[in-house]
Amino acid sequence: MIAEKYAAEIEVILAKYPPDQKRSAVMPLLYLAQQEGGYITKEDIVEIGGILGITPTDVASVVGFYTLYHDHPGGKIRVQVCNDLPCALRGSDEFLEQLCENLGVKVGGTSADGSVTVEAVMCLAACDRAPMFQVQSPEGISYYENQTMDSALKVIETFRKQDA
């Protein structure tokens, strides 16, 4: 339960918002809930809704919209390939398919060793530099543009070695 485990942090977060606007704290509370296990559970969603006085559906809609929140476990790193229409026109769909094939996963899946999850996401704001992806790792978020399969696999291997 995040309310028990992070009581002091939650208090600090809520103090930043007027009492009638505490729903605005949904994103920092989601971040807090996700930081330990790397994803947000259904229980976390219900609990955050209770803390903020909003429905679990309202909380879940934020999780579903933003690529930095996850509602299921994943690898130590998450490789998120942008494949919206402008990126698809520059080959991101084929890139995503080949990347998954090379890593032995399906889109949304995690490698057998548990190190890499590959996801398709919408708009990482680099349409003219596709194929591109972002990597979410314990060290933060990194962006890689104008990728080839060779360069992408080298990036992923570098992350795998850092994690080992």
Of 115, 120, 121, 157, the C-alpha closest to 138 is: 115
Task: Report the percentage of the chain scoring pLDDT > 90.
Answer: 87
Q: What is the pLDDT of residues 55-110, one digit of tens each?
A: 999 999 999 999 889 999 999 999 999 999 999 999 999 999 999 999 999 999 99
Report how far Cα 25 is from the mean position of its chain's Cα atoms. 18
pLDDT band at 36 (very low <50, low <70, confident <90, very high): confident
Give all domains of the chain, ordered by start, each with its CATH number.
2-65 (1.10.10.1590), 77-163 (3.40.30.10)
Single pTM value for the model: 0.81
Minimum mean pLDDT range among 34-38, 67-71, 142-146, 157-161: 34-38
Q: What is the pLDDT of residues 128-153, one digit of tens each?
A: 999 999 999 888 899 999 999 999 99
If you average pLDDT over every residue of the chain, what do you get?
A: 94
pLDDT band at 37 (very low <50, low <70, confident <90, very high): confident
* pLDDT over 90 (residue 161): no
